[in-house]
Amino acid sequence: MSERRESIHGQWSSRWAFILAATGSAVGLGNIWKFPYITGENGGGAFVLIYLLCIAVIGIPIMMAEILLGRRGRRSPINTMRFLAKSEGRTSLWRYLGWAGVIAGFLILSYYSVIAGWAVAYFFRAATGVFEGVTAAGVEAIFGNLTADPERLLAWHTVFMVMTMVVVSRGVRSGLERAVRFLMPALFVLLLVLVGYAANTGAFMEGLGFLFRPDFGAITANGVLIAMGHAFFTLSLGMGAIMVYGSYLPQDASIGKTTLMIAAADTTVALLAGMAIFPIVLANSMEPGAGPGLILKTLPIAFGHMPGGSFFGALFFLLLVFAAWTSALSLIEPLVAYLVENVGTTRLKASAWCGFGAWLLGVGSVQSFNVWSGEEYQLWGMTFFDVLDYLTANIMLPLGGLLIALFAAWGMRRSSLLDELQITDGVVFRIWRFLVRYVTPIAVILIFLNVIGVIDLTGH
Ligand code: PFF
């Protein structure tokens, strides 16, 4: 067995702490806010099926690869890639993969915080009883008023960014770990309550049909790319977030089992969110393709009409803020860890600068919903926010993930992989290696070729 490296940033207290933190990173706005609205925009069932396939064939193998590389390198993704490339005798250009991930995380955080700000705003609205007895037109107006006001959006964006930086600055053990322990199970229970409400709306079966009955006529090449991009986004893959969390993972934890647990938890939360939302959408004759505002226009109706709705509503949005918080931490952790390692700055200063930068960029996303929403401010029919989201989730993360898979599968020696996974050369190892060597990279490449029109997977 080779000599083990240790992280200078500390370690998780146990395997469970890692599972909680990685689940905290994975479960976030992606599951509850983004999954339902992109499913609605892309026609439902077929999109969900492709997304689930991408989780199984692309997401899970890449998550194992990221954790493995992180734990072996025990540094921020940039330094991990630099170290691994050297020790495996590969070109030092691999360090740029770490850089690409750090940049993607920074870009995502900038708009993620703006959307999380919506959830903060909705917490106060729910708590003060604004949703009681509300109609579909009423929630539409509430959402419209919020997003039309750049100052309010900016204020909530600022609040969320400061919250994130406070925890990041405190470091792995005391900051990240403590935050996730109770929040994840609580969020899960509240989602069940919402699904229970949806089951009584009268359109439950239609909602489930929309979510689970595949209609392949409704899916486009771009839809397939969005489904794959979302598999990366929702599992926090392709940018080093899981890699940096893996670098704090104790040596004796099983990478395969922990990956399966994280992926299962993440997927369950997304599907529950879909099951809660689509029955409400259909029962109120709303538009499934309503875009980024979808959950904010539907869930308040549920809270407005259930007993104790203000309490449950406030609790739900509070938990959503926490879920977003634990994800946001992991978006910036790779960059903060790198600055601490290489620039010799303190965690506090590094966090403050990163937060300030991402906050500033986020102003562009704030404006995308009001002053910059007009066509003259759009690029290819997309606002600044849309462009950032598309570029990061659908291009940068899948490309980063592809390279991570290629490095783990082809760049690492078999003996290093076996040593780090601490398994014998058995069936599980062989399946995983086959997947990351061939299936995962080919699937990602095919989906890219499909969207630029070189091949045609969807038949139209
Ligand atoms: N997985 C998070 C979500 O679903 O909300 C978002 C995210 C976190 C993406 C961390 C990427 C990442 F590295």
- Maximal C-alpha separation, the chain: 65
- 6 touches 169 (CB < 8 A): no
Residue 250 tokens, joined: 């104790």
240 lines ligand 1 (CB under 6 A): no
Alpha carbon distance 407, 413 (integer Å) = 10
Query: How far apart are the C-alpha atoms of 416 and 397, rounded to whole Å?
Result: 25
- Residue 29's nearest CA partner among 145, 126, 118 is 118
- pLDDT the model gives residue 412: 96
Q: In testing the pocket of ligand 1, which one of 330, 333, 354 has its CB within 8 Å of the most ligand atoms?
A: 330
How many angstroms does the Cα of residue 318 sit away from the middle of ligand 1?
A: 18
Chain-centroid distance, C-alpha 117: 16
As a whole number of angstroms, the distance between CA 390 and CA 111 comes to 12
In the reported structure, the alpha carbon of residue 235 is separated from the centroid of ligand 1 by a whole-number distance in angstroms of 6
Q: How far is the CA of 115 from the centre of ligand 1 (A)?
A: 13
| Cα(219) to centroid(ligand 1), Å | 24
Average pLDDT per block of 10 residues along the chain, 460 residues long: 69 81 93 97 96 97 96 92 96 94 97 98 97 95 97 98 92 66 82 92 93 94 96 96 90 88 96 95 92 95 91 92 92 92 92 97 98 93 96 96 97 92 78 95 93 79
CB 330 near ligand 1, within 6 Å? yes
Surface-to-core class of residue 145, CB atoms within 10 Å of its CB (0-12 exposed, 13-18 middle, 19+ buried):
exposed
Q: Cβ(300) to ligand 1 under 6 A?
A: no
Q: What CA–CA distance (Å, rounded) separates 62 from 39?
A: 23
Whole-model pTM: value is 0.94
Alpha-carbon span 140 to 147, nearest angstrom = 11
Kindly state if the Cβ of 350 falls inside 6 Å of ligand 1.
Answer: no
Q: Give Cβ neighbours of residue 17 (< 8 Å, ≥ 6 apart).
A: 177
Ligand 1 pocket test target in 236, 244, 332, 336 with most atoms within 8 Å of CB: 236
Per-residue 3-state assignment (H helix, E strand, C coil) for 345-387: CCHHHHHHHHHHHHHHHHHHHHHHCCCCCCHHHCECCECHHHH
Site to probe by mutation for ligand 1, drawn from 66, 108, 233 as the one with most ligand atoms within 8 Å of Cβ, is 233
Distances (CA, A) of 228 to 36, 89, 216, 222, 328: 15, 32, 16, 10, 21
DSSP string, 308-333: THHHHHHHHHHHHHHHHHHHHHHHHH
CA of 330 from ligand 1 middle (Å) equals 8
The finding on whether 28 has its CB within 6 A of some atom of ligand 1 is yes
Q: Which residues contact 151 (CB under 8 A, 6 or more apart)?
A: none
Instruction: Specify whether the CB–CB gap between 194 and 302 falls below 8 A.
Output: yes
For residue 1, the model assigns a pLDDT of 41
* Residue whose CB lies within 8 A of the most ligand 1 atoms, among 33, 331, 396, for a mutation test: 331
Q: Whose CA is nearest to atom 9 of ligand 1?
A: 236
